[in-house]
Amino acid sequence: MDMDTVVYRRRASRITIFAQLFGILAIILLLIWLLHYREGIEYDSPDGYRVFNVHPLLMFMGYIFMSGQAIMAYHTIPSERSTQKFMHMLLHLIAFVLGIVGLCAVFKFHDMARLEDVFSLHSWIGIGTFVLYGIQWVIGFFTFMGRAPDVTRFKIAPWHIAGGRALLYMGICAALTGLMEKYTFLRLNSILRYGEGRLMNFTGLAILLFGVFVDLSVGLAHYV
């Protein structure tokens, strides 16, 4: 292993630490917002707002955060290639399953409140991202975990990597537009509490920076 490879891998590992810190910070801020400022979190609650709050928590902590972990596990964690591939696919599967629960929560809330489904830019981006994510996982599973010919893997790999990074940013875009949509609703209905808007802004920044550092870590690791 040459010296440049060692240097870039060390840098990628250090940047991974920043990604973890911003990811954990975003989860903490989300919990403070949902538990302190909003009504709490409970999927089976008769209170629709408590049901809704499952959605933002799982779409970040379950979907975006776990998919970021899956990306970093494959590119930046020293291990056997087979172990990296297995953890990569498993973490993505966990992200997908938790994301399904998060989506079910918002559809359940809409049914309880008799609201229209998939009517905003946030929901369009979110649904589109999630469908593409599922397709990406299925193609990746049968190509890289199955018995696809080497030439097929070689052709698909660049698209799989680029697509995964694009889907991470699409998920973050959905999260940020969702926060803005919720902020606008709370403000227009005069139910935004003191300090809540700033907390939501810092949460959005933490989510964005998590994605930035995940992408930077992968970019440096892939450079070698």
Using the predicted structure, report yes or no on whether residue 1 has a pLDDT greater than 50.
no
Query: Please, which pLDDT band fits residue 93 given cuts at 50, 70 and 90?
Result: very high
The pLDDT tens digits for 168-213 are: 999 999 999 999 999 999 999 999 999 999 999 999 999 999 999 9
What is the reported pLDDT for 3? 52
Two tokens, residue 103: 């989506």
pTM metric for this prediction? 0.92
Rounded alpha-carbon distances, angstroms, from residue 66 to 32, 38, 162, 201? 20, 24, 18, 22
What is the reported pLDDT for 7? 58
Interatomic CA distance for residues 167 and 144, integer angstroms: 19
Q: Closest Cα to residue 57, out of 11, 105, 94?
A: 105
The pLDDT tens digits for 115-146 are: 999 999 999 999 999 999 999 999 999 998 88
Share the mean pLDDT of the chain.
Answer: 91
State phi, psi for 189 to the nearest 5 degrees: -95, 10
The pLDDT tens digits for 152-179 are: 999 999 999 899 999 999 999 999 999 9
Query: Please, which pLDDT band fits residue 27 given cuts at 50, 70 and 90?
Result: very high
Two tokens, residue 124: 């369009």
Instruction: Judge contact between 160 and 104, C-beta under 8 A.
Output: no
Burial (CB count <10 Å: 0-12, 13-18, 19+), residue 197: middle
Task: Walk me through the domains of the chain, giving residue ranges and CATH numbers.
Answer: 3-223 (1.20.120.1770)
Using the predicted structure, report yes or no on whether residue 4 has a pLDDT greater than 80.
no
Amino acid 67 reads S
Interatomic CA distance for residues 222 and 214, integer angstroms: 12
Using the predicted structure, report yes or no on whether residue 5 has a pLDDT greater than 60.
no
What is the reported pLDDT for 14? 81
The pLDDT tens digits for 47-81 are: 999 999 999 999 999 999 999 999 998 877 777 88
